[in-house]
Amino acid sequence: MDATTEEDALLLGRLQLVIAKIARQLGIAEEGYRVITNINGNGGQEVFHIHYHILGGEKLPVTLKIKINCSDRLIIFKQERNL
């Protein structure tokens, strides 16, 4: 994501539409969902291509802690709402 340019705007917009379509297919769009993409090492990115995590199906807290086991390593992601 960090390497995208203005030339990628159409593709990135299309990705957002596809995410919304998947959320509808999963039945989570109406109640709400969260989309996460990790960018670069400090952002938790281990697979260096654009991919998204779609979270939904239950009420998500404002502060979200996710433990993901990737390649036998534990990643802890924490998102906080800035008010």
Helix, strand, coil % in the chain, rounded to nearest 5: 30, 25, 45
Which of 4, 51, 57, 60 is flagged as catalytic?
51
**Would you call 49 a catalytic residue per the annotation?**
no
CA distance 13 to 42: 25
Rounded to 5 degrees, what are φ and ψ at 40?
65, 175
Catalytic residues: 51
